Each structure stands twice: as structure tokens, then as C-alpha cells.
Amino acid sequence: MLNFWEKLPKPFFVSAPMLDGTDAAFRRVIAECGKPDVMWTEFVSADGLCHPQGRTRLTRELYFTEAERPIVAQLFTSSPEKIEEAARLIHELGFDGIDINMGCPDRAIEKQGSGSSLIQRPEQALAIIRAAQKGGKGLPVSVKTRTGYRQNEIERWIPQLLASGIAALTVHLRTRHEMSKVPAHWELAAKVVELARGSGVKIIGNGDVATLNEARSRAKETGVDGVMIGRGMFGCPWVFSDAPEPSLEEKLNIMLRHAQYYEELYGDTETNHTLFGGRKKSFLLMRKHMSAYVKGIAHATELRTSLMRANSAQDVKEAIEQWRNGNFAQAKKGL
């Protein structure tokens, strides 16, 4: 089976997996505005995928379209048996790769023995990788992790992952203890690259990168093969594009289109019933996206207030139209 990682340019630029963020609606917008070299799903519980009811519910989070390829499904678990079974499903669904989350600091995830807790249990981590490789039937397996748990453990932790036969390794350049409370330690990326030399593993740096130019600079400075952009995508789905920044009108249209895609997929619609059996998602999850879209727009207080009350794409459309009619000219002058 083709390992798409070998076909990527250097440097390449990828979108981060973000819970309640990088769903199919947002990925569709990103793909339209300027597609990254690789896209990730939100992270999904391998244990849940192994339960009949959980599989029915979670396959909604694994929906994707051809426009998103290459696309990687990110899984989390503490069980080699569960991830082997889940990896078989990922293969059947037609994904291009499997990524294992070994960096999430959420306490609920850690209590399950998953996420960043695996940094402290390398033998279990390696067993999970081997099981994913077996269940994936040739799909390239990658890992996303951190520089350590309480302190920098690159020289202990990273070589073990590099020796496991993974295709790519994303390193969030902070420890689990640091969360996102300190600037990412990009000075450590060059050390990871040095450790990976000769292994054939693609190294992806992650942390505090907000623009494509910044990503290019980080790649040049450190020698990483690729850079992952996470929070920089919010309110800026064109972040991977070299095209001029959209105008205010275009930004508002993109925001509305995003809301419409979200409602189409996750609202009480024919599409939702056909794809997901009527399993909806709250429109409230769109509000953080809308808040990001209007951040920095002058004289947008009323628009922001209306958007934070929106419960449908129609509400978003009306909020934009009302604000545009009353404040649009003034806002354009203020940008």
C-alpha cells in the first residue's frame, strides 16, 4: 500500500486534530480555502469504536470526503487489542493513515491510560503502535506526542518511538505539565530532527504557529520535515493558502458557508439522517468558530453579540445582514 508520507514535499504543512474543532464541516471549509498537505480527523476513542453502540455514534466523527485526502484518522486508547480492531475499521473506511494520540493532557483521557500518560509507559506505547500497524494492514501509522511529561524527556522518549517503525512523528514542543501555558520550545525541534536522522521517520513540529510564513520559517530554522498548525486555523481557514487574505466581505461569506455546512451535516437535515442516522451535534459548537472569524473586525460588537446567540445558519445569515446594513461601511474604514 502506498505510503503517502513519502510523496510529500519538504517542508509540508498539515492541519492539527482538534476535538470539537476539526470536524468534517470545518475541514471542508479549509479544503476550499487552501488545503494543507495532510488533514487529520478529530481524535476518536478506539475503545468506543470497538463497541457496537459506540461505533455507530463515532463513525460520524470519521466521515470525510475525497477532497480532504490524504486524511489521517487519529485514535486514542491504552489497549493494543482495541486499537488493532479499530485500525481494521480505519482501513475499511478508506483512510490514508492512522495517527495515535500520545500527547493529549486531558485528565479524563489520562485516567484511561491514554494520551500523554503513555509518555510514562513506553512499553505500552510501543505495544499500541505494533497493534495499530497490524490492524491497519499496511496503512502508515504515525504518532503525535509531547517533549516529555513533567520535564524534557526527548532523549529517552523520542528514540523509542523512532525505532517502532512509524511513518511520521508529530512533536508538540511542550511537556504535558506545561500544557499550553508557556511558549512552544522550538529550539528543541532540531534535536528531534537529529535523533530521527537515518530512521526514515518524518518529523513534524507543532506549537504556536499561526501563519504559513511562520511555519516556513520554523521548518527552515529547525530542519523539520513538516509543520502542524492548530489554533491558527480558527477564524482563518485560509491559513494554508498563499493567496491574499480575504476581504471583510469574503470572510463573512466564508463564516456563513461554514455555518451552513455544519448545519447540513449535523443538524436535523436529510443529509444528517442519510449519513449519520439523525445523530446531531449542537450548533453551539459553531460559536467558538464564529467568535474567531470576527476577531479583529472593527465595530463588530453587535455582530459578535448576535452570533453568540445564533442557533442556526439562518440566524448567522440574519446577524451578518443586519450588521452589514448598519455598520459595514464604518467597519471597512476601521480595518
- Structural domains of the chain sorted by starting position, each given as residue range(s) with its CATH number in brackets: 4-233 (3.20.20.70), 248-334 (no CATH)
pLDDT at 333 over 80: no
Mean pLDDT over residues 221-246, rounded? 96
Q: Render pLDDT for 40-67 as a digit per residue (tens, 0 to 9).
A: 999 999 999 999 888 888 889 999 999 9
Share of the chain above pLDDT 90, in %: 90
Q: Evaluate if residue 21 carries a pLDDT over 80.
A: yes
Alpha carbon distance 214, 212 (integer Å): 5
Residues 246-255 have a mean pLDDT of: 96
pLDDT at 334 over 60: no
Q: Are 176 and 105 in contact (CB under 8 A)?
A: yes
Report the pLDDT value the prediction gives residue 57, as an integer from 0 to 100: 85
pLDDT at 182 over 70: yes
pLDDT attached to residue 326: 79
Confidence at residue 335, expressed as pLDDT on a 0 to 100 scale: 44
Phi-psi category of 333—alpha, beta or left, where left has phi over 0 and alpha has psi -120 to 50?
alpha
Q: Concatenated DSSP letters for 257-271?
A: HHHHHHHHHHSSSHH
Q: Active-site positions?
A: 104
* pLDDT for res 327: 59
> pLDDT, tens digit, for every residue of 86-145?
999 999 999 999 999 999 999 999 999 999 999 999 999 999 999 999 999 999 999 999
Q: What's phi and psi for 97, nearest 5 deg?
A: -170, 170
pTM of the model: 0.94
**Residues 16, 233: contact at Cβ < 8 Å?**
yes
**Over 70: is that where the pLDDT of 32 sits?**
yes
pLDDT (tens digit, 9 = 90+) per residue, 268-319? Answer: 999 999 999 999 999 999 999 999 999 989 889 999 999 999 999 999 999 9
- pLDDT-derived band at 156 (thresholds 50, 70, 90) equals very high
pLDDT for the residue numbered 325? 87
Q: What is the model's pLDDT at position 299?
A: 86
Evaluate if residue 330 carries a pLDDT over 80: no
Beta strands in the chain (DSSP E): 12-15, 39-45, 71-76, 97-102, 141-146, 168-172, 202-206, 226-229
pLDDT of residue 304: 95
All three cell numbers of 328, joined, read 459595514
Share of residues in the chain with pLDDT > 70 (%): 97
Q: Which of 29, 34, 14, 4 is nearest to 229 (CA)?
A: 14
On average, the pLDDT of the chain sits at 94
Q: Residue range 176-196: average pLDDT?
A: 95
